Amino acid sequence: MESTFSTTLLITNRLHVSLTDGHAEIQTGHTLGFIPEVIHNGTTVKMRVISRDAKHGSSGRVVYKAKIHNDETTIWFDFKCDDKLKNTARIVSPHPDLFDAKITPFSESDHPLYVEYVVGPAGLI
């Protein structure tokens, strides 16, 4: 049975290139369905991480690579939803200057967590 501490992630790719080599690094919970290996430019994908219970919640990251202006970078879409009433979501990359990113505002106490990530060309988001 699905817990209220599950996470739904939407990732929109507005870059001029595809996000590739997609995979999940789940710390707590498990994926429902699959993690797409590629998110083509101009598309949005939906992923779900289901928690076993409130104590464990759902947390981890979905990881993609992108080649932007001949530089390859990794982008981590991190999330956490648990019983501590402090949901988190962030986008991490060793080269954040290559793109812009935003996360649609969400409540730190909403359960389940519903988070929308958008990545796009630098200066255009």
- pLDDT per residue as tens digits for the range 6-29: 999 999 999 999 999 999 999 999
How many percent of the chain have pLDDT more than 90?
73
- Is residue 61, in this structure, part of any structural domain at all? yes
- Is residue 65, in this structure, part of any structural domain at all? yes
- Is residue 48, in this structure, part of any structural domain at all? yes
CB 101 within 8 A of CB 89: no
- Is residue 102, in this structure, part of any structural domain at all? yes
From CA 66, how far away is CA 74, in angstroms rounded? 6
- Is residue 2, in this structure, part of any structural domain at all? no
From CA 89, how far away is CA 107, in angstroms rounded? 11
Looking at the structure of the chain, the number of domains it has is 1
What is the chain's alpha carbon radius of gyration, rounded to the nearest angstrom? 14
Tell me the pairing of strands 20-28 and 113-121: unpaired
pLDDT of residue 101: 95
What SS3 class is residue 96?
helix
Query: Is the Cα torsion angle 59, 47, 99, 25 positive or negative in sign?
Result: positive
Q: What is the CATH number of the domain that holds 87?
A: 2.60.270.50
pLDDT per residue over 21-50, tens digit each?
Answer: 999 999 999 998 899 999 999 999 999 999
Helix, strand, coil percentages (3-state) for the chain, rounded to 5, are 0, 55, 40
- Is residue 93, in this structure, part of any structural domain at all? yes
Judge whether residue 63 has pLDDT over 80: yes
> Does residue 112 have a cis bond before it (omega within 30 degrees)?
yes
State which residues form the domain around 117: 7-121
Judge whether residue 3 has pLDDT over 90: no
- Is residue 1, in this structure, part of any structural domain at all? no
